[in-house]
């Protein structure tokens, strides 16, 4: 049954688009707020060549919420393998063309969403071109989203602070309005410093979240990420978000407690990543904690089970104590 619950999901990358696939099965009042700071791959080339905002994360979210023929869905994500278009996805190029004929990037996204029959709304968090930089523990500054996750200094030289240039870029009006009206606000899942926190550095976003009466949920990543969150626990993730917003931003934290298969542990360890440990005592000092089996493995990659995750979010939105009041177990 489709409800009229208003959900705002904030983030970027694979994590956000994966979750959106599950949420649209429960409500059509979805607003995706998407970072536009990506400067690598196809998005980085289009930003440099055309002076547009990064289209990749937006395209992923539009694709996730689109109600189109499966063939069209595949085309949106089709990536050229050869020639001058190598590395570009058709959806990114489509957005680039719409951007050229629109007054702003969010107008181009609206047109793109209309053409693809999107359920809900997708907003870039800002219409301004922003560059990320990360201050490390040793005082060095890493500039550019694509460089932050690959500095390979290990957990002993982690990220202290994330910044955007220009400072306090203006949020798209629709983002602030959606946050004010939301019943549920979800942060994550997604790369902590390059998908989630960048949205919180846009002027007005944190204030709107703080003033909102919505249930605020943080979905923690299942695995840590090299260059960003090596050796981070669940509470470390939440603490980083609070450093860039305010204490108590999340009413509830959702975390996976399913065991990672040994073969995948070894694979991810070779990439300087491991499962994020749930340090319940520290998390519970800041928020309620809901944990359960959220694990989904596809093509040897660990993902959130979007169906279970979406169902959990919707239940918590209607009753923050749902899993405390129901002894049937989680998810």
- Residues 182/8, Cβ–Cβ less than 8 Å: yes
Distances (CA, A) of 234 to 28, 227, 283, 293: 30, 17, 7, 15
Q: Is the pLDDT of residue 88 over 70?
A: yes
Q: pLDDT averaged over the chain?
A: 93
Structure tokens belonging to residue 34? 């998407």
pLDDT at 327: 39
Specify the pairing of strand 159-165 against strand 141-143.
unpaired
Residue with structure tokens 């049937």?
Answer: 328
Separation CA 268–CA 183 (nearest Å): 36
- Residues 208/246, Cβ–Cβ less than 8 Å: no
* For residues 160-180, average pLDDT: 97
Higher pLDDT, residue 176 or 155: 176
Higher pLDDT, residue 54 or 77: 54
pLDDT at 76: 87
pLDDT at 274: 95
Burial of 36 (0-12, 13-18, 19+ CB in 10 A): buried
Per-residue pLDDT tens digits for 289-319: 999 999 999 999 999 999 999 999 999 998 8
Helix H segments across the chain? Answer: 13-23, 41-50, 56-65, 70-76, 90-100, 105-115, 145-148, 173-181, 197-200, 205-211, 234-243, 262-269, 280-284, 306-318, 322-325
Separation CA 252–CA 182 (nearest Å): 16
Look at 140-149, 194-203, 306-315, 316-325 and tell me which has the smallest mean pLDDT.
316-325
- Residues 106/123, Cβ–Cβ less than 8 Å: yes
Higher pLDDT, residue 317 or 176: 176
Higher pLDDT, residue 329 or 246: 246
pLDDT at 253: 97
Separation CA 316–CA 121 (nearest Å): 22
pLDDT at 156: 63
Residue with structure tokens 């560059």?
Answer: 131
What SS3 state is found at 291? strand
Residue with structure tokens 């969010």?
Answer: 106
Show the domains of the chain with their CATH numbers.
1-35+171-331 (3.40.50.10680), 41-124 (no CATH)
Separation CA 325–CA 302 (nearest Å): 30
pLDDT at 318: 85
- Residues 61/122, Cβ–Cβ less than 8 Å: yes
pLDDT at 329: 46
Give residue 152's pLDDT band: very low, low, confident or very high (50, 70, 90): low
DSSP string, 299-321: TTEEEE-HHHHHHHHHHHHH-TT
Higher pLDDT, residue 121 or 156: 121
Q: Is the pLDDT of residue 139 over 50?
A: yes
Residue with structure tokens 């409500």?
Answer: 27
Give residue 149's pLDDT band: very low, low, confident or very high (50, 70, 90): confident
Separation CA 254–CA 291 (nearest Å): 6
pLDDT at 155: 64
Give residue 151's pLDDT band: very low, low, confident or very high (50, 70, 90): low
Higher pLDDT, residue 155 or 133: 133
Per-residue pLDDT tens digits for 38-49: 998 999 999 999
């Amino acid at each position: 049954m489709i409800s009229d619950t208003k959900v705002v999901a904030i983030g970027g990358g694979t994590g956000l688009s994966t979750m959106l696939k599950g949420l649209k099965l429960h409500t059509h009042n979805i607003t995706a707020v998407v970072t536009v700071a990506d400067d690598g791959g196809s998005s980085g080339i289009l930003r440099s060549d055309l002076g547009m905002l990064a289209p990749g994360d937006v395209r992923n979210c539009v694709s996730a919420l689109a109600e189109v023929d499966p063939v069209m869905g595949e085309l949106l994500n089709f990536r050229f393998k050869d020639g001058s278009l190598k590395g570009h996805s058709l959806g990114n190029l489509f957005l680039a063309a719409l951007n050229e004929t629109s007054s702003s990037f969010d107008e181009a996204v609206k047109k793109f969403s209309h053409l693809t029959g999107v359920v809900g709304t997708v907003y870039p968090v800002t219409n301004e071109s922003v560059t990320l930089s990360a201050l490390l523990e040793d005082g060095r500054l890493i500039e550019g989203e694509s460089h932050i996750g690959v500095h390979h200094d290990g957990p002993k030289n982690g990220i202290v602070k994330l910044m955007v240039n220009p400072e306090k870029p203006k949020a798209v009006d629709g983002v602030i309005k959606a946050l004010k009206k939301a019943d549920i606000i979800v942060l994550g899942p997604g790369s902590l410093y390059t998908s989630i926190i960048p949205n919180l550095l846009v002027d007005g976003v944190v204030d709107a979240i703080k003033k909102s009466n919505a249930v605020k949920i943080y979905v923690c990543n299942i695995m840590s990420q090299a260059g960003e969150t090596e050796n981070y626990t669940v509470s470390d993730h939440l603490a980083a978000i609070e450093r860039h917003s305010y204490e108590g931003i999340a009413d509830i934290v959702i975390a996976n407690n399913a065991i990672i298969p040994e073969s995948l542990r070894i694979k991810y360890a070779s990439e300087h990543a491991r499962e994020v440990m749930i340090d319940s005592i520290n998390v519970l000092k800041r928020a309620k904690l809901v944990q359960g089996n959220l694990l989904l493995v596809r093509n040897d990659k660990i993902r959130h089970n979007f169906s279970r995750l979406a169902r959990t979010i919707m239940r918590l939105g209607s009753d923050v104590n749902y899993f405390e009041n129901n002894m049937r177990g989680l998810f």
